[in-house]
Amino acid sequence: MKKAMYLLGLAMILTIPTYAQPFTQLFRQAIESGMFSGQAAILKDGAVFYSKQNGFSENSTKRPLTANTLYNTSYLTKQFTEEIIRQLINEGDLDELSSVDQFVDIFPPKTGKAITVAQLLTKRSGLGDYEHSPDYAKIRKTDFKLHDLLQIISWQPLLFDPGTGEAYSNSAYVVLGAVIEKITGQSFGDAVRTRIGVPLGMTSIAYTKAEKLAATNRAYGQIVNPDGTRTNVDDIENGHPDEGIYTTLDDMLKFVEAKRKQQLPSHYNYPLNMDMTAGLPSWTSAMGYTEDGYSYVILCNMGESAERLAPRVLSVMKDGTYKPFTPPTQMTLYKWITANGMPYVEQHVRELCEAEGRKFDAGFLNANGDIFMQAKQTGFGIALFKLNIKLFPSSAAAYESLGNAYMQMGDKTNAEINYKKVMELDPKNGRVKDILSAK
């Protein structure tokens, strides 16, 4: 019996020729601009009507992409964490109003009782991001365990009292992962395999560093540098409940289709429309579905690619149109800086940001400055961070990024000046406080 698979190269153009053409044009533009390396598939009512792949699993050796290629799904891992939590609630082992101190003993009693499962799921727990901690940087490449991440989280101050604010939190999903391990008695990776992988027929899930290293079919990531060149990255580390699971396009399609049809094992009634993009400097991924039967998955071993493709895919699904595909912002900034200088950047940076449908805030130049720093173009990176401070003088994050840049260059004096400004604007910034204390 032939196994039904959503494999690239086997897609059939079914009954939607009007939308197939703009998808073809969209992905052609992405490829021509050098900004699509990976695999994508778009389904209607469970059947693939458009798919595309481009590039290599490993660019330096031209190792091809195949149906078995494993991608880092990045923060899409949170989808699996939420589903298992929903299963445990459905099974009666957990309640949304359960306080975390029943399962995780890392917080002061008052804090542990105040944080609920519901708050962890909805960005209202007050927890921040352990990935910003210097302590995480020290263990990132080691064979760390979940309790190591929990220890870091326990040291970090709350951003706000639980339930009183809202902030994106990777730490919240690590705590949810610990709840899963406590209740199931399994490691988080094993829980994903047995509670999601087995029921859905997802056969290619790698979670630990050892599992990823053993997978010779894994793709390597690529960082797109501001000058358009690419840097290959095989940045392997243990997964976390908030990010890092490796899997295939076929497996992710099984998950998104089950979620669209409300057929995940939790039997939870998920929203009728859903889209999520996730990105790291060398990986991007996206998935989603609509109530009229469309679903899609985009897995890319290249920075920014899926993040730029996904909103355009959704636009085509909606009305058959999309904004023309544009190169990465850092490439545009590089051309502006080298051709016209920083005054030109200052004059036009807002329109560049808003043309991509983004809110113009300090995060925009911070993210792009980081890319320049990673590409060793430190002069340009620092210039962008300084411009960011000029445009957003009350942003602690802007000063922190400039401090980080000076620290990367070994200029501790200027790093300290900017870190002290961070503490004036954001006294609860535990990461910067630790850096200054260690001085």
Whole-number pLDDT of residue 37: 96
Q: For 329-437, give the CATH class.
A: mainly alpha
- Three-class DSSP category at 204: coil
pLDDT of residue 18: 56
Which residue stretches of 187-328 are H helix? 188-192, 198-200, 209-214, 249-260, 305-319
| pTM across the whole model | 0.88
How many angstroms separate the CA atoms of 44 and 275, rounded? Answer: 15
| β-bridge partners, 206 | 246
pLDDT confidence of residue 19 = 64
What pLDDT score was predicted for residue 16?
44
Rounded Cα gap, residues 131 and 119, in angstroms: 20
Residue by residue, DSSP assigns 293-318 as SEEEEEEESSTTHHHHHHHHHHHHHH
Q: Which CATH architecture has domain 1-326?
A: 3-Layer(aba) Sandwich (3.40)
Scored b (16 or more CB within 10 A) or e, 123-141 reads ebbbbbbbbbbebbeebee
The encoded tokens of residue 33 equal 């601009």
Q: What does the domain layout of the chain look like in residue ranges?
A: 1-326, 329-437
Q: Please, are residues 421 and 380 in contact by the beta-carbon 8 Å criterion?
A: no
Give me the tens of pLDDT residue by residue for the chain, a chain 439 residues long.
444 444 444 333 334 445 678 999 999 999 998 889 999 999 999 999 999 999 999 988 999 999 999 999 999 999 999 999 999 999 999 999 999 999 999 999 999 999 999 999 999 999 999 998 889 989 999 999 999 999 999 988 899 999 999 999 999 999 999 999 999 999 999 999 999 999 999 999 999 999 999 999 999 999 889 998 888 899 899 999 999 999 999 999 999 999 999 999 999 999 999 999 998 889 999 999 999 999 999 999 998 899 989 999 999 998 888 888 777 889 999 999 999 999 999 999 999 999 877 889 999 999 999 999 988 999 999 999 999 999 999 999 999 999 999 999 999 999 999 999 999 999 988 788 888 987 6
Q: What is the structure's pLDDT at 177?
A: 98
> What are the beta bridge partners of residue 218?
70
